[in-house]
Amino acid sequence: MYKRILLKLSGEVLSGEGKKGLDSKMGDLIVEEVSNVIEKGVQIGIVIGAGNLFRGEDISYVGPINADQIGMLGTVINSIYLFSSFKKHGIDSVVLSKITDLPSVERLTYDAIERAFREHKIVIFAGGTSNPLFTTDTAAALRAAEMNADVLIKGTKVDGVYSKDPKKFSDAKRFEKLTFEEAIKMNLTVMDTSAFVLCRSHSIPVIVMNFFEKGNFSKLVDGDKIGTLVFNEI
């Protein structure tokens, strides 16, 4: 069983059936799935995107640097929302970031990460990598390395990695497992190349799975084969 997990979620999951905004039902769903896992003694860090608030193409007129900074602040909004959702259910968490100084956000340091885990808190990493031009996938890989995660789990609305978009192509092939080299060579878009390279460098396996099928996250942590495993070939 995994003992320390980095969970990456896209911001779109928080909007539920809507295209934008925050859906309290989705916040509650995330809390339920995560709480079932922390009850097993697992330590969890979370990185969430901001696609429910801003998409790069929607604000492209401000330029890539400013658009990325807006997106980084969007992840802070979503992180505080998750923090509030956990608090509502009596679950301790902390928001850590390097880009902002707000009452609900603490400064991100290695000591802060370890202290939070010792205090049995969920760690929510906000603000991306703290630099523009990097995706939240890369931020997730970076934070996974910083927290010495056993695995990076990317929670999506699909059940794994496919050769092409299964919603558009009926002949799309689902992979049970892939090496990082294979994923990079095939230019699979489920995660960006820099995130794969960072995880490969630190030997952190990646699992892409359907987070929103009830109980999937808990089953995966218990050892069930769920989703697609991307790993370092020995």
What distances in angstroms separate CA 85 from CA 23, 29, 135, one per listed residue? 11, 10, 24
Q: How confident is the model at residue 233 (pLDDT cuts 50, 70, 90)?
A: confident
With contact defined as beta carbons under 8 Å apart, do 125 and 149 qualify?
Answer: no
Structure confidence by residue, pLDDT tens digits, 62-81 = 999 999 999 999 999 999 99
Diameter over CA atoms, the chain: 50
Query: Which residues line the annotated binding site for UMP?
Result: 68, 129-136
How many helices (H) and strands (E) are present in the chain, helices listed first?
Answer: 7, 11
Q: How confident is the model at residue 234 (pLDDT cuts 50, 70, 90)?
A: low
Read off the pLDDT of residues 130-150 as tens digits, 9 standing for 90 and up: 999 999 999 999 999 999 999
Instruction: Please give the annotated binding residues for ATP, written as ranges.
Output: 8-11, 51, 55, 156, 162, 165
Quote the CA–CA distance of 70 and 76 in Å, as a whole number: 10
Binding site membership: which residues?
Answer: 8-11, 51, 55, 68, 129-136, 156, 162, 165
pTM: 0.96
In this structure, the number of other CB atoms found within 10 A of the CB of residue 190 comes to: 20
Query: Domain 4-231 is in which class?
Result: alpha beta
88, 9, 160, 145 alpha-carbon torsion, rounded to 10°: -110
How large a percentage of the chain has pLDDT more than 90?
A: 85
